[in-house]
Structure 1
Amino acid sequence: MSSKFGHVIITSSCIFCRSALSYAFVNKKPIAPGHVLVASDREAKRFNDLSPEEVSDLFKLVHRISPIIQKVFNATALTIAIQDGAAAGQTVEHVHVHIVPRIEGDPLQDDRIYEVLQTHEKKDDIKWRTDNEMETEATLLKEYFEENDDEYQQ
């Protein structure tokens, strides 16, 4: 099942995990390998537009997938961030959480990541990934979430 993400349609092949009210998908223009997004099913533009149940579900899914993203991409840490509104760098008007794998000494150190998050989608020198590249990554990640999915659907 495809999902609407602001003005973009996310194909089911790029979605690797779902919960009752949210979904996780690979990023078309990641700032680091393994940079994924988690969004609410309902198209809410701003964080405070979500209901308490949607907030809870969104962060339960972030909590569920974060250790897997860290493991699969050999990270030692994660940056978990929300850009809430255009002034914060939000380019897609749909609440979403960025999960970015980090390693010691990566080029995003010293909180440079926040500057990069605000500008990376606007830069022409960052390569957009092909659908095939995104599907390959999503297929890899789906393997980690197909078992025991029932316990997380609540």
Structure 2
Amino acid sequence: MESESFTFGPYKIDPKEVFYSTQLSYAMVNLRPLLPGMRFNPVSDVFAIRDVKRFTDLTGDETSDLWFTAQKIGRQLESYHKASSLTLAIQDGPQAGQTVPHVHIHILPRKGGDFEKNDEIYDAIDAKEKELKEKLDLDKERKDRSMEEMAEEADQYRKLFI
């Protein structure tokens, strides 16, 4: 990997930060820990090698390889960090919180109690993506939907695949 060249949008990545690669994707450690005060950062990201801005712009082979790589990396990180679960997340486009226009999957090994509320992980990802600027507390604005509302939406989505 020392001789390979990696980029993340406009940024050149030092091959020393990359710990796994295939012909189509690579995995690297993060610059900043997700949680303050952590010496080791259990979060890693898997990137498409080709500079692709949006998930839907990946080829079929790139999509398969990216997720296969995320699965492989996640399995190993979960075991290494003695975690019991994984959060896998993609922020696809600026309105989804993507701050660097390059497809990547966040992989976060999870343990019971690592966040007071499980969904706080998404706020933490958003904060990390924005270079740890002030994060929004999205839970304040969230309201549970009824089963009927959710079923109606699911029916609409099913029609897209007929």
Common fold by TM > 0.5: yes
Q: Which residue of 1 aligns with 2:72?
A: 64
- Alignment deviations for residues 104-144 of structure 1 (CA, whole Å, 9 cap, x no partner): 0112633111122112333259xxxxxxxxxxxxxxxxxxx
Go from structure 1 to structure 2 and tell me whether the alpha carbon gap of 1:55 and 1:117 turns closer, same or farther (over 3 Å shift). same
Instruction: With a CA cutoff of 8 Å and minimum separation of 6, indicate the structure with the bigger relative contact order.
Output: 1
Aligned to 2:96: 88
**Dislocated runs of 4+, deviation >3 Å:** none
Q: State the aligned residue count.
A: 125
Distance 1:109 1:42 in 2: 35
Tell which structure's C-alpha radius of gyration is larger: 2
**Which consecutive residues of structure 1, in runs of 5 or more, have no partner in the other structure?**
126-154
| TM-score where L is the length of structure 2 | 0.72
Q: What RMSD, in angstroms, separates the aligned Cα atoms of the two structures?
A: 1.6
Q: Is structure 2 residue 10 aligned with structure 1 residue 7?
A: yes
Spell out the pairing of 1:38-77 with structure 2 (5 A cutoff): 38-77=46-85
Deviation at 1:92, TM superposition (A): 1.0
Contact 1:89-1:119 within 8 A present in 2 as well: no
Structure 2 equivalent of residue 112 of structure 1: 120
SS of 2:19 mapped into structure 1: strand
Q: With structure 1 as the length reference, what TM-score do the two structures score?
A: 0.75
One-letter amino acid of the structure 2 residue matched with residue 30 of structure 1? P
CA contact (8 A) 1:25 1:38 kept: yes
Q: Summarize the Cα distance change of 1:68–1:108 in structure 2 as closer, same or farther, 3 Å threshold.
A: farther
**Structure 2 regions of 5+ residues with no counterpart?**
36-40, 135-162
